[in-house]
Amino acid sequence: MSNGKTLKKFISISFQISPSYFFLLVFQSIMETGQILVNVILPKYLVDELVGGRDKANLIRFGLYIVLANVAFLFFNKTMKRFMDVRNIYMKEKLNQAMADKIMKVEFACLEDPYYLDLKERAVFACRTMSALENLIGSVARVLKNAVTIISLLVVMFTLSPVFVLILVLTISISIIAQKLFSKYQLEIYQELIPINRRYGYYVGLAFEGKYQKDIRVYNMNRMLTDRVLDYSRQIYDWFKGFTKKQGLFQGFVGVINDLQAAIAYGYVGIRVISDKFGGKIGIGSFTMYVSAAISFTTSATDLGKNIMTVIQMLGYLQPFMEFMSLPDEAKREGSVPFEGAVESLRFENVSFHYPKSENYVLKGISFEIKKGEKISIVGLNGAGKSTIVKLLCRLYKPASGTIYINGRDIYEYEFSSYMKCLAAVFQDYKLFAFSILENIKGGEASEEDSIQRQRVENLLEQVGLKEKIAELKKGVDTLFGKQYDPEGIEMSGGQSQKVAIARALYKEASLIILDEPTSALDPLAEAEIYEHFNQLVGDKTAIYISHRMSSSVFCDKILVLDGGIIADFDSHKKLMEKEEGMYYKLFKSQAANYQV
């Protein structure tokens, strides 16, 4: 994405967030320029009066104008600055929020694709580490201010001599070109720093994060981590050493050019006071005004150059952010038919699938059908494609070919949010959040009254065997999950957390429930209890269980046996156990053997 496109995208996102923001920036720039102009123009009259008529009343009048104008502008500009500082923070927060929203809306496949994951990382690096959004907003505001000031000062200086303006513009161009070259170098060299910084951040992060400490200690990783961190920090140090050396040279050069500009300004305007060689003589008051205009012009033009370079630089950093923000939203949210009623039938018809950027088909022409209320178990070896079936059903990925039908309609024809209401899933890598237990379980389903929600949550917690545990808690279901943000929060064991996740799926009142390894963390008693009650818990819902514990298949109506992405069998436990050569029989028997003493 080019800088122009990145800037356009930034402005369009900012406009969506706050349409008034850019108008306020322009207004602020005009008012700040006003203060500069007042101090360039008004002193001329005071000085002229001082060296001319020396009329007391006039002197007081001009002095008063200068003081009053300065006080007024100062008051206004300070107030405006405070207001804009708050507004800038608001904009920055909103832009960060826009990124978080995007991550939640973007096609799920992007979040498992290394290219987009890297893009997201770089976008986060630009926003967090480089504060690129803040810097861009700030420098765009300063560019506007500089531009308005320069145009106004040019008008003032033109009244003296266009040639004078031309000479100043020429010298300033030299420092702007130098700045451009330096910024290009800076951007290029920063690109070299990004991967080093990312790796450094990762290893330092490991040392900071509590969740890695067990493995770090048990496997004595401290030394390896410290060495890695030291290695990267040495590289960062070397990088900065080289960079600051070049920066010093550049700043020295720009300083010389600036002094040269000041000398030209003083020299030329001074000559105009004492000689009429380049035009009519001017008074001391005008001398003050033009010199001051030239100095302000030089400062503003140098600032403009610097700020434009910062804008370009920040756009460079923000390029991944804008590219990420331009990614299409979940394309798979296509479909407009509202999903109504319950899942009456579910049919996979010749479904094949491979993950993006991989040519290996994970599912190969899968066809099977499930009727309302049936309980199905999917079994197979690691990597057979079991969880992939769940992802396809949840519309996280779309089949490469073939169709998944629910109630006789392609699932992609359904409007996304109504479709999502018909199913609930406990993923293998399910996540619970730092909300209360109640909030974790009821999620976004808030259509009922609070007391009814509570009652349902408490009933479900009892059914999954967490009643006693919750009763021990001072705040009951209002206890925060995890101690990260509340010392009174609860740290649950893997099995207890899994029970909460099961309760969350059951709370959703979806007619299709999918449980991917639902009991992997449960102790044998809890597992037996959950399985005993599963049919009661799930009720008349259609259910799909994925489990490596073969005993869980026994209570299912049918078992789908997956072998390398192909359906090896689809039948009841009883029938499958009759096929002694079949995969199911072998899996079942080999696991059962482990339980014999």
Q: Is residue 541 within the footprint of ligand ATP (CB under 6 A)?
A: no
Q: Is residue 549 within the footprint of ligand ATP (CB under 6 A)?
A: no
By beta-carbon proximity to ligand ATP, the closer residue of 391 and 508 is 391
Min dist. Cβ of residue 359 to ligand ATP (A): 11
Q: Which of 384, 477, 480, 576 binds ligand ATP (CB under 6 A)?
A: 384
d(CA 33, CA 55): 30
d(CA 318, CA 7): 9
Long-range CB contacts for residues 382-388, cutoff 8 Å, separation at least 24: 384/562, 384/563, 384/564, 384/565, 385/353, 385/562, 385/564, 385/565, 386/516, 386/546, 386/562, 387/427, 387/428, 387/516, 387/546, 388/353, 388/362, 388/363
By beta-carbon proximity to ligand ATP, the closer residue of 380 and 465 is 380
d(CA 435, CA 446): 15
- Using CA of residue 197, residue 200, residue 206, residue 209, what is the dihedral sign? negative
**C-beta of residue 21 within 8 angstroms of C-beta of residue 88:** no
d(CA 193, CA 235): 9
Min dist. Cβ of residue 380 to ligand ATP (A): 6
d(CA 500, CA 522): 12
By beta-carbon proximity to ligand ATP, the closer residue of 315 and 384 is 384
Positions in 243-262 near ligand ATP (CB under 6 A): none
d(CA 272, CA 163): 13
Total site size for ligand ATP, rule CB under 6 A: 13
- String marking each residue 309-348 x if it binds ligand ATP according to CB under 6 A: ----------------------------------------
Q: Which of 388, 436, 463, 479 binds ligand ATP (CB under 6 A)?
A: 388
By beta-carbon proximity to ligand ATP, the closer residue of 335 and 399 is 399
By beta-carbon proximity to ligand ATP, the closer residue of 109 and 289 is 109
Min dist. Cβ of residue 110 to ligand ATP (A): 11
Instruction: Return the SS3 of 220.
Output: coil
Task: Tell me the window of 136-144, 245-253, 354-362, 446-454 that interacts with ligand ATP (CB under 6 A).
Answer: 354-362
Min dist. Cβ of residue 388 to ligand ATP (A): 3
Q: Which of 358, 451, 536, 596 binds ligand ATP (CB under 6 A)?
A: 358
Q: Which of 22, 108, 185, 355 binds ligand ATP (CB under 6 A)?
A: 355
Min dist. Cβ of residue 237 to ligand ATP (A): 38
**C-beta of residue 432 within 8 angstroms of C-beta of residue 440:** yes
Min dist. Cβ of residue 353 to ligand ATP (A): 9
Min dist. Cβ of residue 385 to ligand ATP (A): 4
d(CA 299, CA 155): 16
Q: Is residue 376 within the footprint of ligand ATP (CB under 6 A)?
A: no
Task: Tell me the window of 176-184, 190-198, 277-285, 379-387 that interacts with ligand ATP (CB under 6 A).
Answer: 379-387
Min dist. Cβ of residue 550 to ligand ATP (A): 13
54 φ/ψ sector (left φ>0, alpha ψ -120 to 50, else beta): left
By beta-carbon proximity to ligand ATP, the closer residue of 82 and 357 is 357
Q: Which of 220, 336, 382, 594 binds ligand ATP (CB under 6 A)?
A: 382
Min dist. Cβ of residue 332 to ligand ATP (A): 15
By beta-carbon proximity to ligand ATP, the closer residue of 355 and 435 is 355
Q: Is residue 43 within the footprint of ligand ATP (CB under 6 A)?
A: no
Give me the DSSP letters along 561-597: EEETTEEEEEE-HHHHHH-TTSHHHHHHHHHHHHT--
- String marking each residue 410-449 x if it binds ligand ATP according to CB under 6 A: ------------------x---------------------
Instruction: Tell me the three-class secondary structure of 357-390, residue by residue.
Output: CCCCEEEEEEEEEEECCCEEEEEECCCCCHHHHH
- String marking each residue 57-96 x if it binds ligand ATP according to CB under 6 A: ----------------------------------------
Min dist. Cβ of residue 432 to ligand ATP (A): 20
Give me the DSSP letters along 502-570: HHHHHHTT-SEEEEESTTTTS-HHHHHHHHHHHHHHHTTSEEEEE-S-GGGGTTSSEEEEEETTEEEEE
d(CA 548, CA 363): 19
By beta-carbon proximity to ligand ATP, the closer residue of 137 and 384 is 384
By beta-carbon proximity to ligand ATP, the closer residue of 289 and 390 is 390
Min dist. Cβ of residue 384 to ligand ATP (A): 4
Q: Which amino acid is at 594?
A: N
Task: Tell me the window of 73-81, 207-215, 273-281, 355-363 that interacts with ligand ATP (CB under 6 A).
Answer: 355-363
Q: Which of 141, 322, 362, 437 binds ligand ATP (CB under 6 A)?
A: 362
By beta-carbon proximity to ligand ATP, the closer residue of 324 and 353 is 353
Min dist. Cβ of residue 238 to ligand ATP (A): 37
Residue 560 backbone dihedrals phi, psi, to 5 degrees: -100, 115
Long-range CB contacts for residues 116-125, cutoff 8 Å, separation at least 24: 116/324, 116/327, 119/320, 119/323, 119/324, 120/320, 120/324, 121/198, 122/194, 122/320, 122/321, 123/99, 123/318, 123/320, 123/321, 123/323, 123/324, 124/99, 125/194, 125/197, 125/198
- Which CA distances in Å does 566 have to 216, 224, 446, 549, 560? 40, 43, 40, 20, 10
Positions in 99-158 near ligand ATP (CB under 6 A): 112
Instruction: Report the half-sphere exposure of 201 (CA within 13 A, side-chain side).
Output: 12
d(CA 56, CA 50): 9
Task: Tell me the window of 148-156, 340-348, 383-391, 500-508 that interacts with ligand ATP (CB under 6 A).
Answer: 383-391
By beta-carbon proximity to ligand ATP, the closer residue of 305 and 385 is 385
The binding site for ligand ATP (CB under 6 A) comprises 112, 355, 358, 362, 380, 382-388, 428
